[in-house]
Structure 1
Amino acid sequence: MSPASNPVLVVDDDPDIREAVQDILSFEGYGVVQADNGREALALLSSEPPLRPCIILLDLMMPVMDGEELVGHLQKVPALAELPVILVTASGRGMFPGVKTIIKKPFEMDELLAAVAAHCHP
């Protein structure tokens, strides 16, 4: 997959959820890159060449670096602050700066696809 293809970045510590989301999105024609915590996602976004996803689907509660901490890091870098972030979480946490919307787990496939389609093209 070329970096120009703007994949969906799925950040979740649960490998089953990451795989399920990847299967759903891949079937619809989207490229997907996975990270199992915020630190891993930040490394991908800071790599050379940097990963520039069309959207970040982000779990909130993760070890190493949680979703809110990752969003805080993204907000400090103008190129990363522009990336749309959607929380995909079971947490009752409300919106905070840097987040476009929240999708509650367990989520409906149509809800996930609609959120991705609003920011990405397969």
Structure 2
Amino acid sequence: MTADNDASCVVLVVDDDSDVCETLQTVLEVSGYRVAAAANGREALDALRRGLRPCLILLDLMMPVMNGLEFRAEQRSDPAIAAVPVVVVSGDHHVAEKATEMGLEGLAKPIDIDDLLQLVARFCGPPTEMQ
């Protein structure tokens, strides 16, 4: 991410599956959003603690190093980053229930692109104009 990025329009994708991460990044960038990515919860926390303030975090649940539940607990305990919105994105058949238990919304994989873009627009506003 470059220094001139407006952090308010950055979506942070946290997923250990590089194909999922790249697909989400491509869809969001083509739609006009900026994207940062992390392969696990630890990387995401490190980026947030270095000052990244995305408009939304798309969080996978099952990841090595630090899973989504562990990430969310750490995020909520840190006042500097606790308010950053999070949506759970998971292939777990019970993603809606698990997200609700975490006090979050959930999107099931495979992700419907229209649902994803509506969700991101709700949290981040409309995408920037394509140049």
Where does 1:54-93 land on structure 2 (aligned, <5 Å)? 54-91=55-92, 92-93=94-95
Aligned to 1:120: 124
What TM-score results when the alignment is normalised by the length of structure 1?
A: 0.91
Q: 2:109 aligned with 1:109, yes or no? A: no
> Where do 5+ consecutive residues of structure 1 fail to align?
none
> Where do 5+ consecutive residues of structure 2 fail to align?
none
How much identity, in percent, do the aligned residues show?
45
Q: Over the residues paired in the alignment, what is the CA RMSD in angstroms?
A: 1.3
Asked which structure has the greater CA Rg, the reply is: 2
Give the drift of 1:97.
3.5
Shift >6 Å, 4+ stretches: none
- Residue 96 of structure 1: which of 83, 101, 111 is its match? 101
Give the drift of 1:5.
3.2
Q: What one-letter code is carried by the residue in structure 2 that aligns with 1:82?
A: A
Give the drift of 1:12.
0.2
Contact 2:7 2:52 in 1 (8 A): no
Q: Distance in 1 between matches of 2:11 and 2:77?
A: 21
Q: Distance in 1 between matches of 2:115 and 2:24?
A: 12
